[in-house]
Amino acid sequence: MKQETHEKPKICSYFQKMKGTSLSPPMVSVPEIIWSWVGAFLGISAVSFMHYNLITETDLVMIIGSFGASAVLIYGAVKSPLAQPRNLIGGHLVSAIIGVACYKLLGDQMWLASAVAVATAIGAMHVTKTLHPPGGATALIAVIGSNKIHALGFLYVLMPVGAGALIMLGVALLVNNIPKNRKYPEFWL
């Protein structure tokens, strides 16, 4: 005799996971929104000002798209492990090195260089405990960026990536510690 079971097929269990297990968090307070705005404004302003006013006569770049995502984390989600200095600096630097290397090694196959850069950056950030989601974009920008980005080669790691991340970190340290109910960072190492 065939034994009856009431187990759901594995495929149903798989799709059940996609329903989620809780509700979204509550909205943050108005002061939290204001401080997030102020931090992001000042951080991106500092990097943008340098880009558009101080290095215009050079072949250097000071601002990249992944800094916008970093701003969300370090000014808007200050308690997140992904927003801490180790993750901000380390995640960007590790990812930039990987992105440049992938472009140099696989740049004749841009689809492959793009995929390898992002996937390897994620793995390397995990291994180094520096997971910072914008790092994936930093690696991708090294591959798909403009000729100006490609011409930087490994200098891309220092400028714009390292210098820009340090400037944004400095602003985060100053601004995020002004309100008494905010403290940044949660950890350094």
Consecutive 10-residue runs of the chain (189 residues): their mean pLDDT? Answer: 62 87 92 98 97 84 95 98 98 98 98 98 98 98 96 96 98 97 95
Residue 164 sits at φ, ψ, to 5 deg, of -65, -45
pLDDT computed for residue 60 by the predictor: 80
pLDDT score at 181: 92
pLDDT at 150: 96
Looking at residue 77, its pLDDT comes to: 97
Per-residue tokens: 24:
């979204």
Specify burial of residue 183 (Cβ count, 10 A radius: 0-12, 13-18, 19+): exposed
Is the distance from CB of 132 to CB of 88 less than 8 angstroms? yes
Q: How far apart are CA 18 and CA 3, in angstroms?
A: 30
Segments of 27-160 assigned E as strands: none
Q: What one-letter code names the amino acid at 41?
A: F
The Cα 148–Cα 153 span in angstroms is: 9
pLDDT, position 8? 66
Per-residue pLDDT at 5: 56
- Please give the helix or strand (H or E) that residue 140 lies within, else none: helix 134-144
User: Do 125 and 94 touch, CB atoms closer than 8 A?
Assistant: yes
Q: Are 68 and 108 in contact (CB under 8 A)?
A: no
Residue type, 143: V
